Amino acid sequence: MKKATCMVLSFFFMFSVSACQTRSAEITYYDEAGNVLKTETVEADETPSFPEVHKEGYIFLGWFKSPESLERVDSRDGLSGEVSLYPRFESETTVDRYREYLDETNPVVTIEVKGYGQMKIELFPDVAPNTVRNMVHLVEEAYYDGSSFHRIIEDFMIQGGRGDSLDCAIEGEFASNGIENPLEHSRGVVSMARTVDMNSATGQFFIVHKPAHFLDGDYAAFGAMVEGFHVLDAIASVETTGSPNDAPLSDVTISNVSIDTKGVDYDPPVCYGG
């Protein structure tokens, strides 16, 4: 009887220890070279310290579970047991991330934002040709004039282009939809917004404020900023309603959008299923 009681107590003790272990996280923070910066134990009701790290000439992107991971860790959720976290940085010289796609023959879009200034975006026909044709067509039709950046999430993106309903939805030019698109969602890159339907993009677009590589391969990136990063930063920092709408409390109005096609005549976009 004593033996059976001891076994039950032993099992209960082991279960209790296991339960405690799953509720806490032993976090080790590393630098880029793999050296330990600090360790900490975080209980279920605590938030990790996420130490500040700096690298001259680079933007800190956050902490990740591995140097290759695309999923940033910014809360206690999902952390238990032994956890290793690594910092990720991106060059402040943002244009270097997509310099290989820049070409003097590419069309350039100028977005005038009331009270903020202008942003210039170079479109990349070699990356997403039909998506570029769609943007060229809408700009030439003055579709964006008087619209706004209606969804803003600092450190992620600013989204605009919501206007009258459009009948032409275009095929999503990205890898998970079977179309090669190597352009990463780094700071300044412009990409198409869509619903869960991969071929539902019409006129709404977003500009990446801070790198969002988890979007790579799932959204049609088709151009990137070449001027006006201070305008992007100013818009991204406006006060909003917060989730789920993330609408600015004061209108961020796009007064005018123009385009220089460098003398090239672009055909209208091909509508999906059309």
pLDDT, tens digit, 9 for 90 and up, residues 149-167: 999 999 999 999 998 889 9
Classify domain 95-260 at the CATH class level: mainly beta
Give the burial string for 49-83 (b: 16+ CB within 10 Å, else e): ebeeeeeeeeeebbbbeeeeeeebbeebeebeeeb
- Percent of the chain with pLDDT strictly greater than 70: 90
Q: What is the mean pLDDT of the segment spanning 136-142?
A: 97
Average confidence score pLDDT of the chain? 88
- The arrangement of secondary structure in 2-92, i.e. its CATH architecture, is Sandwich (2.60)
Q: What is the pLDDT of residue 9?
A: 43
Q: How confident is the model at residue 130 (pLDDT cuts 50, 70, 90)?
A: very high
Quick check: do 2-92 and 95-260 share a fold?
A: no
Cα–Cα dist 78/234, whole Å:
33
Structure token pair of residue 231: 């305008």
All structural domains of the chain with their residue ranges: 2-92, 95-260
Cβ atoms of 189 and 98 within 8 Å: the answer is yes
**Whether 259 contacts 100, CB under 8 Å:** no
Helix/strand/coil for 22: helix
Q: Has residue 188 got a pLDDT over 80? A: yes
pLDDT of residue 93: 64
Residue pair 223/102 in contact (Cβ under 8 Å)? The answer is no
Q: pLDDT at residue 59 above 80?
A: no
* Confidence bin at 10 (pLDDT 50/70/90): very low
Least confident range of 53-57, 193-197, 263-267: 53-57
Distance between CA 20 and CA 25 in Å, rounded?
A: 10
Q: Is the pTM of this model over 0.85?
A: no
Confidence class for position 35, pLDDT limits 50, 70, 90: very high
**Side chain identity, residue 146:** G
Query: Using one digit for the tens of pLDDT, what is the confidence trace for 62-118?
Result: 888 888 776 778 787 878 899 999 998 766 667 878 989 999 999 999 999 999 999
pLDDT band at 274 (very low <50, low <70, confident <90, very high): low
Cα gap 241→177, rounded to integer Å: 33
Q: Give the number of other Cβ atoms within 10 Å of residue 121's Cβ.
A: 26
